Structure 1
Amino acid sequence: MARYDKGHRDATRPHIIDVASAQFRERGIAAVGLAGIMSAAGLTNGAFYTHFESKEDLVRAVLLDALERREQRHKDNLENGIALETTIRDYLSPRHRDHAGTGCPTAALASEIARHPKTTRDAFTAKMSDIIALMAAQMPDGTAAERRRRAMSVYATMVGALQLSRAVSDKQLSEEILENAVKAALALANGR
């Protein structure tokens, strides 16, 4: 049996999460098997259970990791004074549409997450609430409750539009969906 350098196990778990995250977002959770993830990660199937109890455990880890990264982007934007408009335009861009594997896990996986166990949905819910709160903090004017309501509407518009833009086969229609969603999200964000 080969021995690994100290720290190999600690580095392996995040690597498996990264590989699974890209595969889940590109192809869907149900369509991705553990054997494919481990092969792409350059590991044996048996090594999986050293790091995760089950595929569902991996799904939760992927969601938390991906949503924490997205949350950190929102925090960085807020701290650096980057306008919510920039976030909206970046999210609803052709680049984001065309790269689901590195994009928003919510747009890529929300319909599947709805069918997962409560513990997975609870983890997703907590992170979504954090992201909505950060978006609300970037909203101009209004009470905290009004800004939260608008942030929910903006995020729902962004996620839904991104999903639709990916689903249609007509490139021009896809572009129109993105462009019109930017306008709608900005109007919502500004309370119009």
Structure 2
Amino acid sequence: MRYEKGHKEQTRQKIVEAASQRFRADGIDAVGVVSLMGEVGLTQGGFYNHFDSKEDLVRESVSMATSAAKERLATKVAASRSEGHRALINAYLSPEHRDHPGAGCVAAALAAEMARRPAGTRQVFTDGYESMVELIASTLPAGVRGKRRRSLAMTLFASLVGSLSLSRAVVDPTLSDEILTLGKQAALALVDAS
């Protein structure tokens, strides 16, 4: 059977998108190649026509997920009437982001797992981290300059990731909402203090 030109690349993209969502929602080690390929309507053997290993897929999925999350946040910031940093903080620490980890930030979903991945995968995560820090820095007030801008962006990102991760981890919905609210207040206070 002959496929149309670009079929292999479309199939590869479909696999990466499915893996990206599943890895963030369920965790990397919880997602097997067999179940993932079944989800996209392919066999396990077909996987190796597209990727050398699961780790190869992990790297590509992390890269794609980071870019997508950054684009979504940048779009929300651009569409908001609020100050850039305020719009970003509110979007990041929203119930929508908390409730849909498969479509959200890689750092909040996978940072703990990334610490145990091979160096090549951790480098892809590091590149994504740097990209998110740049986005956050671009939203900060003009008065925050130089090294302070980058260090504040890094501190904010750590605070946002921690608040979102904790809000997902607790079982009590009221406590989860409280974590998001207090996380927003703390992040805004960091900016106001700068």
- Tell me if both proteins adopt one fold, taking TM over 0.5 as the criterion: yes
Instruction: Note the C-alpha offset of 1:116.
Output: 0.2
Match of 2:71 in 1: 72
Q: Does 1:162 align with 2:161?
A: no
**Counterpart secondary structure, 1:149:** helix
Instruction: Give the counterpart of 2:188 among 160, 164, 186.
Output: 186
Match of 2:32 in 1: 33
**Counterpart secondary structure, 1:16:** helix
CA contact (8 A) 1:161 1:177 kept: yes
CA contact (8 A) 2:69 2:103 kept: no
RMSD of aligned Cα (Å)? 1.7
Distance 1:77 1:89 in 2: 10
CA contact (8 A) 2:77 2:88 kept: no
Cα deviations by residue, 1:25-51 (Å, 9 ceiling, x for unpaired): 111001110001100011111111111
Match of 1:122 in 2: 123
CA change 1:190–1:71 in 2 (3 A) is same
Instruction: Note the C-alpha offset of 1:184.
Output: 0.6
Structure 1: tracts of 5 or more residues without a match:
none
**Counterpart secondary structure, 2:49:** helix
Cα deviations by residue, 1:120-179 (Å, 9 ceiling, x for unpaired): 111111121121022112111122211111111111111111110111011111110000
CA change 1:91–1:81 in 2 (3 A) is closer
Which shows bigger deviation, 95-104 or 54-63?
95-104
CA contact (8 A) 1:59 1:120 kept: yes
Distance 1:78 1:175 in 2: 22
Cα deviations by residue, 1:91-117 (Å, 9 ceiling, x for unpaired): 111111111111111111110011000
CA contact (8 A) 1:74 1:131 kept: no
Match of 2:97 in 1: 96
Distance 1:50 1:105 in 2: 26
CA contact (8 A) 1:139 1:190 kept: no
CA contact (8 A) 2:168 2:176 kept: yes
Identity of aligned residues (%): 45
Instruction: Note the C-alpha offset of 1:185.
Output: 0.8
CA change 1:92–1:78 in 2 (3 A) is closer
Distance 1:117 1:20 in 2: 18
Match of 2:4 in 1: 5
When the two structures are superposed, what TM-score results if normalisation uses the length of structure 2?
0.92
Distance 2:77 2:175 in 1: 32
Structure 2: tracts of 5 or more residues without a match:
none
When the two structures are superposed, what TM-score results if normalisation uses the length of structure 1?
0.93
Which shows bigger deviation, 176-185 or 128-137?
128-137
The count of residues paired between Structure 1 and Structure 2 equals: 191
Distance 1:142 1:95 in 2: 29
